[in-house]
Structure 1
Amino acid sequence: MSDYLGYADKVCVVTGAASGMGRALTEILVDFGAKVYAIDRVESPIPGVTRSIVANLGDKDSIDEVFAGLPDTIGAFFGVAGVAGVHNTFLETMTVNYIANKYITDTYLGDRLAEGGSITFVTSNGGLRWELPGLREELVPFTQTVGWAELVGVTEDFNAEFGGELPGFRGYILSKRALNLLVAEQAGPLAGLRKIRINAVLPAMTVSGMIGDFAEMRGGMDKLEESSIGPAGRLAEAVDMARVLTFLGSDLAGYVSGAHLSVDFGMNSLELAGLKPDRLRWTMRDALSAQPA
């Protein structure tokens, strides 16, 4: 049978590979015969990975050490790791969810991805409407800044505008929006580098390692389910996202780049069609300025 997905012996790098979507994705890639380098804060529990790498994606030196130990040529990179921000500072959340991915893209992926290679990031449905002019304008300083220290500086400056005490969950929304814009901006330049593809998966609320944090933020699991269950009649499972990630990184998606795939069983479409309220057409500055002092 033909290997339509093209994963046999392909070098794949997965961040956040020990749990949730990253674990489900790693299991699929191993099953398809890929050489998987599994990166997370703990050892990967998946049998068959080529190498499990313990790293801190909130630390530049740790990321540099990881890439020093990876193969020179990578077939597919999956940036899955992230934090909800409920128990993290604004800077910590922005660093893991955005700064690390921007730094990796700028510093390593352009040079290390194979001809026709792919980059796929997990962002979020919470990062929708990033393309609206006002929202995009707010995000440009993050996507146009290069260098770890400089990215940290832009993030700290944004935090300082609002007293330097922004909660981590604000960083979650901002980081996902910024990563969506980064995917759009990089589609052209990366295509010019050996036809590298870059895409984003925007998950709806998913049962994964962060579900408890999101439930805490919403005031309990009942309230989370009430606001998050759409036409599917259930919350998404990690494997639902892993299957989509597998497709976007595969040869079957060889002409797909710059795509933002909202994996939510039609929830976003209902909002775009005016059948449900559109809750995300606000800039972060507007939302923060509207808060009572």
Structure 2
Amino acid sequence: MTDHFGYQGRVSVVTGAASGMGRALAEILVDLGASVYAIDRVEAPVEGITKAIVADLGDKSSIDAAFAELPKEIHSFFGVAGISGVHQSYLDTFTVNFIANKYITDTYLRDRVVERGSLTFVTSNGGLRWENPDIREELQPLIDPSGWDGLVSAASAFNDRFGGAVPGSLGYILSKRALNYWIATQVGPLADLKKIRINAILPAMTISGMIGEFAEMKGGMDAVEADLGPAGRLAESVDMARVLAFLGSDLAGYVSGAHLCVDFGMNAQQLAGLSPDRLSWTLASVLNRTPAA
């Protein structure tokens, strides 16, 4: 049987692998023959993985310690881990969702990912419209800095503009927009480096460990279930994991810079004017209308 996916005997690294999309992806990669290194805040309970590594992606030293346990050659990296911001601060949310991924890529993955390897990240449909010029302008100072300290300083400066009152929920949107924009900027440099591909999936609301927090943000599960879109159901973690496995595989060998909405057409309906577009605003425009706490 031909190994069309190309994971057999190759090294895959998955963050957020202890639950939800990350766990479902790790299980798929094991089935496809990959040597899977699973990173999360708790040990990933996935049978057949090569190694489970406990790390906090909000802590630079913890990230550095985790990569000291990883192989020098990585074929596919999946940045799945994230937090909702509902019960976390703005800076904690932005750090885990964006800063950690950029730091990991700049510090480790550029060197360790092999020729024609792949990077695939989970962003969010909450990060849509990142490509609008005014939104890109807002994001640029956040994605430009190099190094952990520079990125944290830039993120903190954004919060300081609004009296330190940016809520974690808006930090979630900002972090996912920043990740989407930054991914687009890395297509050329990574191709020039080693023909490495970089892509993202933008999930719709998904049944995972964070579903309760997202429901809280929306006003309860009734509000979530009232807006299921054309699919008529919430996505399952495995729905996202299957697409991640495809984008990181040889089957997607000519795909880079893709921001794939895994939402059963909800974004397409917005772009066609068939449903309201609720995301074409800058965070500054929202925060300038919101009194400081």
1:132 counterpart letter in structure 2: N
**Percent of residue pairs bearing the same amino acid type:** 69
How do 1:102-117 and structure 2 match up within 5 A? 102-117=102-117
> TM-score when scaled to structure 1?
0.98
Q: CA deviation at 1:226?
A: 1.4
Residue-by-residue CA offset, 1:119-175 (whole Å, 9 max, x unaligned): 000000000000000000111111111110111111111111111122111110000
Instruction: Give the structure 2 partner of residue 271 of structure 1.
Output: 270
Q: CA deviation at 1:290?
A: 2.1
Q: CA deviation at 1:292?
A: 4.5
Instruction: Give the structure 2 partner of residue 91 of structure 1.
Output: 91
Is residue 71 of structure 2 the alignment partner of residue 66 of structure 1?
Answer: no
Residue-by-residue CA offset, 1:168-205 (whole Å, 9 max, x unaligned): 11110000000000110000000011100000000000
Instruction: Give the structure 1 partner of residue 44 of structure 2.
Output: 44
Retained in 1: the 8 A contact 2:15–2:39?
yes
Query: Partners of 2:225 and 2:150 in 1: how far apart?
Result: 39
Query: Partners of 1:230 and 1:157 in 2: how far apart?
Result: 37
Greater Cα offset, 116-125 or 213-222: 213-222
2:276 counterpart letter in structure 1: P
Is residue 183 of structure 2 the alignment partner of residue 183 of structure 1?
Answer: yes
Query: Partners of 2:218 and 2:266 in 1: how far apart?
Result: 18
Retained in 1: the 8 A contact 2:166–2:287?
no
Residue-by-residue CA offset, 1:67-121 (whole Å, 9 max, x unaligned): 1111000000000000000110000000100000010111111111011000000
Q: CA deviation at 1:291?
A: 2.3
Cα RMSD between the aligned structures?
0.8
Instruction: Give the structure 1 partner of residue 279 of structure 2.
Output: 280
How do 1:154-193 and structure 2 match up within 5 A? 154-193=154-193
Retained in 1: the 8 A contact 2:85–2:172?
yes
Greater Cα offset, 218-227 or 269-278: 218-227
Instruction: Give the structure 2 partner of residue 249 of structure 1.
Output: 248
Query: Partners of 2:65 and 2:143 in 1: how far apart?
Result: 24
Structure 1 regions of 5+ residues with no counterpart?
A: none
Query: Partners of 1:219 and 1:276 in 2: how far apart?
Result: 20
Instruction: Give the structure 2 partner of residue 152 of structure 1.
Output: 152
Instruction: Give the structure 2 partner of residue 197 of structure 1.
Output: 197
Query: Partners of 2:266 and 2:165 in 1: how far apart?
Result: 32
Query: Partners of 2:189 and 2:51 in 1: how far apart?
Result: 30
Count matched residues.
292
Q: CA deviation at 1:13?
A: 0.3
SS at match of 1:192: helix
Instruction: Give the structure 2 partner of residue 56 of structure 1.
Output: 56
Instruction: Give the structure 2 partner of residue 126 of structure 1.
Output: 126
SS at match of 1:261: strand
Query: Partners of 1:247 and 1:222 in 2: how far apart?
Result: 33
